Amino acid sequence: MALTTTTETSPAHPPAVAATSCGDGRAASASHPRLVADIGGTNARFGWIASPGAPVSDVRTLPVPAHAGPAEAAQQYLADLAAAQGAAWRAPRHAAFAVATAVAGDRVAFTNSHWDFSREAVRRALGLEQLLMLNDFEALALSLPCLGADQLRCPDGRLPHAAGAAPGLLAVVGPGTGLGVGAVVHTRQGWVALPGEGGHATLAAGDDLEAAVIAAVRRRYPHVSAERLLSGIGLPLLHQALGEVRGQAPATPWTAEAIVNAALGGQDALADGTLDLFCALLGSFAGNVALTLGARGGVYIGGGIVPRFADRFFASAFRPRFEAKGRFQGYLAGIPTALITDTLAALSGGALAIEQQVALG
């Protein structure tokens, strides 16, 4: 299922989210309705799939700190939705939750919130036949085959993956609070996510300035990963290190928001240079991901940082650095890149995960 960003309102007037079917649409209607969720440390977004081929709708955000756990938050969402739907209400049988933490076994514990729960206990509390638990980047990767032109911005007009096109491997790099990397590949059983921890790979310099900045960071941290600089937590460090190299280090660290705002407002040369450096390093890293995975179908940029300065991003050195791989420049030139503008994309990944699981029986 694909969906676009909506203004989240109360369930009394729920928004319908435009979507197209990402699966084969043959899943039995008896398996509907379905519940999907995208859960971070601060907010939990819930959505509803009423019938086969239907859009993800009734999207609502609930604050994580206000609820004891995902079962309680989901119960509030479902109770409000049931009141809004009245006689048409049917309880969900299948659900998929994308969570911003590692998923292994029954126990799921968040490092940035108080939620620590048993997946099986949540399934029973909600009366579900099946509850899939996905890492948030696994869900985002699964959303890639479902994304349409209205959910993406492409600098050259080339969509990474178009409906009806030959399936291929698709990759996503997402600078948010941290740096996520994931991919999906098409198999006989459908789309399979390839989760990993690529954001912790060592960051490489592309020129003397980048080498000097990374050396400045290495004086504090013995290993400089891509996430160390290409993320919300990394942008202030990149700004500080660039300042040290230029002899303009700020007395106190800036926030990522302050750096972006100052750069876009033309208020500060160091912030401006930091954003340029961020885009160039991200391009080089994304090109490495494309080469490593063989992502001929396309590379997507997700996360919450880059959409804040999309125009600046497309005018940056990102794409030239993406392709700057020597003898393999031609290989990279043939790989399209796109920016994911849909902040609710992970919900569509959860929807596809349910659809494929139900189809497998």
Among candidate residues 135, 145, 253, the one with its CA nearest the CA of residue 195: 135
5 is in an annotated binding site: no
Rounded Cα gap, residues 275 and 217, in angstroms: 17
HSE, side-chain direction, 13 A CA sphere, residue 240:
18
180 is in an annotated binding site: no
Among candidate residues 294, 287, 264, 286, the one with its CA nearest the CA of residue 276: 264
CA geometry: angle 350, 173, 106, nearest 5 deg: 40
Rounded Cα gap, residues 46 and 62, in angstroms: 8
Which letter, b or e, does each residue of 32-67 get, where b requires 16 or more Cβ atoms within 10 Å of its Cβ? bbbbbbbbbbeebbbbbbbebbbbbbbbbebebeeb
Residues in a beta bridge with 94: 34, 130
**Residue 57: φ, ψ to 5°:** -135, 180
HSE, side-chain direction, 13 A CA sphere, residue 318:
26
40 is in an annotated binding site: yes
Among candidate residues 279, 286, 288, 179, the one with its CA nearest the CA of residue 234: 179
42 is in an annotated binding site: yes
The three-class DSSP label of residue 88 is helix
Rounded Cα gap, residues 103 and 101, in angstroms: 6
Among candidate residues 297, 272, 299, 262, the one with its CA nearest the CA of residue 283: 299
41 is in an annotated binding site: yes
84 is in an annotated binding site: no
Would you give the end-to-end CA distance of the chain in angstroms? 19
CA geometry: angle 6, 7, 13, nearest 5 deg: 100
Asked whether 338 and 322 are in contact (CB, 8 A), the reply is no
Q: Which residues are annotated as a binding site for ATP?
A: 37-42
Annotated binding site: 37-42
